[in-house]
Structure 1
């Protein structure tokens, strides 16, 4: 059955609980991956599946770090050392110990998500923190973390041969928060894939470039 969503103020705010749900659902799905599949490409990305989980973990960790910064300057990224382990690989501060296997890799993802959940819960809503697309608030960083989790789990599911379809209401809330110009007459999950350059929509080709709008809504 097709469903659409309403954008803007009709959607409830994105919360830490939403982020916690997204990470838990992703970890649960990824636990079913074949142990030998992690070196394959993650969907259309140039990274393998192991690297993609590290990248997602790094995103969640970095967003938590940005919300934790209280001293000036506040207009740049916290200067952790981000580095790639191979040419063309993602530049991360977070890397999982390969000796721990996929179980350890998913623990890294779970904990990185928990750090951002905790920061969103405890950071005053009037806080503003740096992001390359523009300063945002805790709700914005929660929404960013959810988008990263949902779409990279889609990439991973393609590479690992898994089924992945996150809740429509969760997709609708992050679309309203970060992609206010996205179409509202189409199903939220395909619309989120379209908004992040991963799919076409009827009458709308797959975007070749995209970005979200994280500015605070209040």
Structure 2
């Protein structure tokens, strides 16, 4: 048996609106996501639609893994691209499906799919820990710094796990602090709601209505670095 060094005890960022998102936040979110997906019944049908989106549960988890790895890749070059994505060859496996370069081997089953998600998340966490704070890289919704790409990674993880959890009938209620910090970094146009940060994040991404706030039919986030964070 090979002895393993104890893992560092990383704590999430302080649970307040002003704290920026951190790599520890994303590490926590990916770990919670993996734990949730592993709790799916052995006979779960991963071909079921993922909530209200047009993809099935398997393709949605692949898309999430692809997002996480792609965001890490954007920060990786010595001179990150300012007007395009890093030019990986991507493909759509079905009409209307995600345009991706990360796919899980179906023969590995759901356990393998979750490992692909964990691996992509770990690479994004590692890149965020090492990228210089002044780094800027392209996203269609603004040039982001490492904290911006962390926030986008958090958003993708939180809301797509909501989609997949709906499709598989699993519980998913992420920590409020993760949701607050994601909202604060990416949605300066969204005022806090009395329903709480998680319902507000779902509303901000067009997934639910709130009292007095009909469900959004169009929405976007803002990746650009702002003077207020």
Shorter chain as denominator, the TM-score bin is over 0.9
Q: Superposed, which structure 2 residues align to 1:1-218 within 5 Å?
A: 10-35=17-42, 36-71=44-79, 73-186=81-194, 187-218=196-227
Deviation at 1:117, TM superposition (A): 0.3
Deviation at 1:71, TM superposition (A): 3.2
Write the distance in 1 (CA, Å) between the matches of 2:130 and 2:80.
20
- Residues 185/86 of structure 1: CA separation in 2 closer, same or farther (3 Å cut): closer
- Residues 102/170 of structure 1: CA separation in 2 closer, same or farther (3 Å cut): same
Deviations 1:12-69 (A, max 9, x none): 0100000111111111001111233211110011111000000000000100000002
Write the distance in 1 (CA, Å) between the matches of 2:146 and 2:80.
18
Deviations 1:154-183 (A, max 9, x none): 000000000100001110011011112212
Deviation at 1:104, TM superposition (A): 0.3
Equivalent residue pairs, number: 210
Deviation at 1:185, TM superposition (A): 3.5
Write the distance in 1 (CA, Å) between the matches of 2:226 and 2:80.
24
Q: By percentage of residues, which structure has more helix?
A: 1
Match of 1:68, SS?
Answer: coil
Write the distance in 2 (CA, Å) between the matches of 1:82 and 1:27.
25
Write the distance in 1 (CA, Å) between the matches of 2:33 and 2:56.
17
Q: CA RMSD in A?
A: 1.3
Write the distance in 2 (CA, Å) between the matches of 1:217 and 1:19.
21
- Residues 161/69 of structure 1: CA separation in 2 closer, same or farther (3 Å cut): same
TM-score (norm 2): 0.88
Q: Which runs of 5+ in 2 are unaligned?
A: 1-15
Write the distance in 1 (CA, Å) between the matches of 2:135 and 2:144.
8
Deviations 1:71-95 (A, max 9, x none): 3753210111111112222221000
Write the distance in 1 (CA, Å) between the matches of 2:121 and 2:80.
25
Deviation at 1:137, TM superposition (A): 0.2
TM-score (norm 1): 0.93
